[in-house]
Amino acid sequence: MDRRKFIAASSLAAAAPMLAIEAGAKTGKDVSSNLFRKVNFTSDGLEFNTSEYAAVLQQATNRDLEPDYYSNNGVIAQLEQKFASLLGKQAAMFVPTGTLANHLAVRKLAGNDRRVLVQEESHFYNDSGDCAQTLSDLNLVPLGTGSSTMKLEEIKSWVERSSHGRVPMKVGVISIESPVRRKDHALVDFA
């Protein structure tokens, strides 16, 4: 980001609380009251308009928040502790996107067995920008061409091929996403 864009972005962020107040004054409404009342089943994110986002920033500045340091302590630690408690776990980890969460889970589950069987139509295979290969040295093998479901025969064939090839490679993970967005949110065949 060049210096001018940085200054402009910083100015906008600093002005956001004032924009929320101004938006509320112009409409005669409390713009924060309806922020979390809509449900969107078609896309990710909250899809705030400018006034709604400014109102959320204003609410955050009105709270006494303990800052975090690279996600240690502060509000991030509180969020992680709350979710760990709700889920009955020792710990939880906050990550900013579902794509990153999927990547970290598959990477952890794969361990040293770097071959990963995935649905060809999966979000992880198609929409992660080769992060699994680039960042974690995972070898994604797409199965179930054009379908939401991988066939058991395909899976068995690849597990056999991987473990008994000239250079044996174990399959570390079989990733199954359901529903599959690219197939109009079709569910994986339970059988």
Digit-coded pLDDT (tens) for 17-76? 555 555 555 555 555 555 556 666 666 667 778 888 888 888 877 777 787 787 778 888
Bridge partners, 180 (sequence order): 186
pTM as predicted: 0.64
**Rounded to a whole number, what is the distance in angstroms from the first to the last CA of the chain?**
50
Alpha-helical (H) ranges within the chain are 3-27, 50-61, 74-87, 98-110, 123-126, 131-136, 152-163
Domain limits, the chain: 3-61, 67-94, 98-183
